[in-house]
Amino acid sequence: MPKFDPQSIKKYRMLLWPFGFFYWLLIFWRNFFYNIGFFVSRKLPCKVVSTGNLSVGGTGKTPFILFLANTLKAKGLNVAVLSRGYKRKSTGTHVVSDGKTLKSDLNSSGDEPFMLANKLRDIPVVVDENRYRGGQFICNEYNSDVILMDDAFQHRRVFRNVDIVLINSNHRRPKLLPYGLLREPLKNIKRADAVIFTKANLTPPDEKLVSSVSKYCSFTMESNLMLNTQLIGLDDSIKPVSDFNGPVVAVSGVGDPDSFEVILEEAGLDYVHHFRHDDHVDYSVIDLEVIREVFLAAEAQAIITTEKDLAKLEDLKDLPVYALPVGVLLNTKDEEQLIDLVC
What is the CATH number assigned to the segment(s) 229-324? 3.40.50
pLDDT band at 278; cut points 50, 70, 90:
very high
Length of the chain: 343
CB 191 within 8 A of CB 153: yes
Residue 174's Cβ-side half-sphere holds a number of Cα atoms within 13 Å equal to 26
Lowest mean pLDDT among 64-78, 117-131, 172-186: 172-186
Cα end-to-end span (Å), the chain: 55
What band does 20 get if pLDDT is binned at 50, 70 and 90? confident
Q: What is the pLDDT of residue 25?
A: 82
Spacing of C-alpha 32 from chain mean position: 27
In the predicted structure, residue 306 carries a pLDDT above the cut 50: yes
pLDDT class of 181 with cuts at 50, 70, 90: confident
Mean pLDDT on 105-128: 96
Does the pLDDT value for residue 5 go beyond 70?
no
Pairing of strands 321-323, 230-233: antiparallel
- Percent residues over pLDDT 90 in the chain: 79
Give the H/E segment covering residue 95.
strand 94-97
Domains 47-225+329-342 and 229-324 share a fold: yes
Give the distance from CA 213 to its chain's centroid.
Answer: 20
DSSP state of 4: P
User: Against a cut of 0.85, is the pTM above it?
Assistant: yes
What is the homologous superfamily of the domain 47-225+329-342 according to CATH? P-loop containing nucleotide triphosphate hydrolases (3.40.50.300)
Separation CA 16–CA 322 (nearest Å): 41
pLDDT at position 12: 52
Pairing of strands 230-233, 238-240: antiparallel
Query: What is the spatial distance between Cα 226 and Cα 202, in angstroms, rounded to a whole number?
Result: 10
User: Residue ranges of the domains in the chain?
Assistant: 47-225+329-342, 229-324
Higher pLDDT, 248 or 20: 248
As a dihedral over the C-alpha atoms of residue 292, residue 240, residue 65, residue 253, rounded to 10 degrees, the angle is: -20
pLDDT of 8:
44
pLDDT exceeds cutoff 80 at 3: no
Residue 6 reports pLDDT greater than 60: no
